[in-house]
Chain A
Amino acid sequence: MTTIFAEGRRAAQTHILTPRLETPFHARLAALDTLNEWYTWSGCKAPHALSDPELEYFAIRSTAALFDISPMVKYRIAGPDAERYLNRLTLRDVRRLAVNRVHYTAWCDDHGHVLDDGTLFRLGETDFRLCCQERHLPWLLDSAFGFSVDIREETEAVAGLALQGPTSFAVLAAAGFGDVQQLKPFDSTTLPHDDVSVTISRTGFTGDLGYELFVPRARALSLWDRLWTAGAAHGIRAIGYDALNQARIEAGFIVANGDFITADGALRADRVRMPDEIGLDWLVDPDKPHFNGRNAILAARRNQTLKNILVGLEIEGNIPAEHALVYHRRKHEAGIVTAGIWSPTAKRNIAIASLERPYGSLYKDDLWVEIYALRELKYQKMMKRAKIVPRPFLRLARRSATPPGLR
């Protein structure tokens, strides 16, 4: 046994020859790619864009966009105590998550600081999949003490695709996955594909009609091809992260280590955030059984020691304010814009900002954003008025219409 293990270990030495992994869909992405602009996502090669990021964005909002989410970290959590385990691990009440349902959730350390956010799939009574941005194996394993539960990372074993946009249902229907018609948002189902099964959920990161598909790695390309062929008549287009990022800001979604620093990664004591400080207070369920960080979160609420707040901003003008400083009354520094774009669909200049309370909580007016626009090697400095607005910045009826529309 030991020898076999050592053999496998030695065989893996060659990993250094490919410091960036290729995802199961890499062959298809590479074939479509015209820009050769890759970035690293969880150790994988992932495209910023394949051709033109602006056009890719419009695929999300007007037809169907296909986005490779395989690098997303995925854990399979199963066993008799899986529900109890996850209920202690995460903020929301997992008892209320039905089989074939998905919910967005987050989890915290003992001090109530957010470790990550992600989606939790209930695949069966005692079988779950947790998808997130960062890696958490030691935390998940240590959390399992006292529970009968099996935790496996399946990031590389399971390929994932997001199919998003108004024609995404039409594509699935054309590809023979018409059964997803009855799925309401956050429903999931399992359908046969190529002698395996594919899990399709009505979820996404765009605020649009859309689905996410998970399939064993070996059947990744056939699934892609099936969608691609069926999607030809429905304007399907493969996209990179730049386009997706615009859509997710419009939808008001936050990104770990983009809009907040995860507690496990923060070097500086003041960078960690409680759920209430990043707009996730609605996930916290004080009535459910004990969960990690409960004491700290409730104490912070009780003692009013929350230090920060995450807000949506609408900013005058059309210059994106990414990473700009936010001021109150034009002079008191109030926080930073974590993400900001001109929204092509809402036609508004929108941003997500992290403010230091009482700015954003008590002082909500008279906020300003200091934008440095670099234009031909010169900063054009401007102070723009900003207004706190609710997120999402964009609400699309087709996102939740059931049955979904075909266009």
Chain B
Amino acid sequence: MKSSDTLQSSYDVIVIGAGHNGLAAAAKLAKAGRSVLVLEAAAEPGGALVGREFSPGYRSAGLGHILNRLDAEAARDIGLDLAVGRSLAPTTALDGSGRAVVLRGAYGEEVEGVSAADADAFYRLRKKLIFQAAVLKRFLRRPPPRLDGVSPGDIAGFAAAGLGLLRKGRGEARDFLRMLLMNVADVADEYLADDRLKGLLAFDATLGIHLGPRSPTSLLGLYYRLTGEISGKPGGQIVPEGGMAALAPAFRRAAENAGVTIRCNTPVARVLVDRGRASGVLTEDGTEIAATVIVSAIHPQKTFLDLVDPAESDTGFIRSMRNLRSHGNVARLDLALDRLPTFSGLPADARHGRIVLVRSMEQVETAFNPAKYGEFSPDPVMEITFPSLADPSLAPPGGCTLSALVQYAPYRLKQGWESGKPAFLKILLDTLEQHAPGIGWSIAAADLMTPVDIEREYNLPGGHWHHGELQADHLLVNRPINAASRYATPVEGLYLASAGAHPGGGISALPGWNAARHILAGATP
């Protein structure tokens, strides 16, 4: 890391936030010959990918569990040097009965643990969803379409999507328009009989989104997952070699190799704007640094409600920005264990994958109910991984770490998280005990991060890793809000490039990479 005395007084580009999107944008811009400075508030780059020591000798590997949507072209383009390995990680659904459903290959190319009929039904549904997701995918790698005119690129995009749809005939094309805004529950009910499979789909569709499986449009969450691919396989997921903790350093190397200057422990206090034009930033330590392009790779609300003086934005813009729904629903539990726990029914060769504790779609829906009223789920659903399996350095020898993403845990808890947290933790540990009897004895430490803790730990307003709901009304031309939906914003020279920008969150590098390409192409709002 370069020291402060080497900092110039001006750069071509300043990127705010060294999350993976910020680093991807920085790398792309630097590769195009721009001088780029990345300013990061935290002590090291990586944003939500950075792990932390949650108990002496035990580290977490960042907020993410698996890699399932890193855009291959973007990764190549920015020179991301990451050993992804070859074998895809499985997903196991456990309902507590000891009978596991295992999805192997890319999102269940093969399914184990269900009847042949159910497996066939699942393959049919999977095929349809992957076909439909492929149609949507083409919209993720370019800015959302313009509404104030017709651009040849947009027309080509829509035409290609239409033709892609018709490739399988009118029937499939019509079915796409029917299903697009459906809820995952009705779709799953139509195809599947197995409660665990339905529960798994329900969980995957809603994880990180304030919807239940029965909420209309909840299928979008599953589509979004299936627009991701690993090694060309839609729906595939892996844990990279060295575990998820390998990601942040890889992004950092890519940026530095491209010539980016990264400066940590340097929170930005203000984006300097005068009459609609950004000219630089003011750091909290009082340093002014000039740049004609400012790329904000942090939460859009933090950007425009805090860093940019609201006096420099229009009232309607501020109003829309404040209306961006961005309250997280997911809590993160890290356990320090003195040995690898045994989950009943979990095949040994599925331990390194994703484990979802879910009984049924109804369970997910019922777990969602309290979240609507600012209460946590008394019977939550969760996704588990053992990060120390891929990265033994995370735990002392013989020990093991367990990481769980749990929903639903609303950011605004009516009773307050101070009293809510111990109560919720107890529920979680009880749930784990049911699935892995005896696990309680091997817990050396348990660390629960509510969305409020996640907000604090990762500078993530609302504790929402998508930086704004990934729901139909906050997508595409409305992500994060219409007036800032094509990376450029009403403030000339200020661009958005975080998960809050199109296409959304997850470790894809797309918001950052798209934004950088758009800037290089001479973006206008």
Contacts and interface: CB of A to CB of B under 8 A. Distances in A.
| Chains A and B bind each other | yes
B316 interface: yes
A282 interface: no
B315 A139 contact: yes
B319 A289 contact: no
A253 to B, nearest CB: 26
Given A110-B483, A145-B305, A294-B275, A289 B311 contact: yes
Contacts of A290: 273-276, 311-313
B317 interface: yes
Contacts of A111: 316
Given A110-B483, A295-B490, A143 B315 contact: yes
Contact of A142 (B274, B276, B315, B483): B315
B305 A109 contact: no
Interface in B300-325: 305, 309-319, 322
Nearest to B321: A145
Nearest to A109: B316
Contacts of A135: none
Contacts of A89: 315
Interface in A70-112: 84-85, 87-89, 109-111
A87 B273 CA distance: 16
A155 B272 CA distance: 38
Contact of B276 (A84, A143, A295): A295
A88 B274 CA distance: 12
Interface in A270-290: 286, 289-290
A363 interface: no
Interface residues of B, number: 19
A292 interface: yes
Given A109-B314, A110-B316, A139-B315, A289 B274 contact: yes
A89 B315 CA distance: 8
Contacts of A84: 311
A111 B148 CA distance: 13
B311 A146 contact: yes
Interface string B155-175: 000000000000000000000
A293 interface: yes
Contact of B314 (A146, A286, A293): A293
B315 A146 contact: no
A145 B276 contact: no
B310 A147 contact: yes
Interface string B320-337: 001000000000000000
A361 to B, nearest CB: 23
Nearest to A296: B314
Interface hub of B276, B305, B311, B315 (most chain A Cβ within 10 A): B315
Query: 6 closest pairs, A vs B, by CB?
Result: A146-B310, A110-B316, A110-B314, A143-B315, A88-B311, A292-B314
16 contacts: A85-B311, A87-B311, A109-B314, A110-B317, A143-B315, A146-B310, A146-B311, A146-B318, A147-B310, A147-B311, A286-B275, A290-B274, A292-B314, A292-B315, A292-B316, A295-B490
Given A110-B314, A286-B275, 20 more contacts: A89-B315, A109-B314, A109-B315, A109-B316, A110-B316, A110-B317, A110-B483, A111-B316, A145-B305, A146-B310, A146-B311, A146-B318, A147-B311, A289-B275, A289-B311, A290-B313, A294-B275, A294-B314, A295-B276, A295-B490
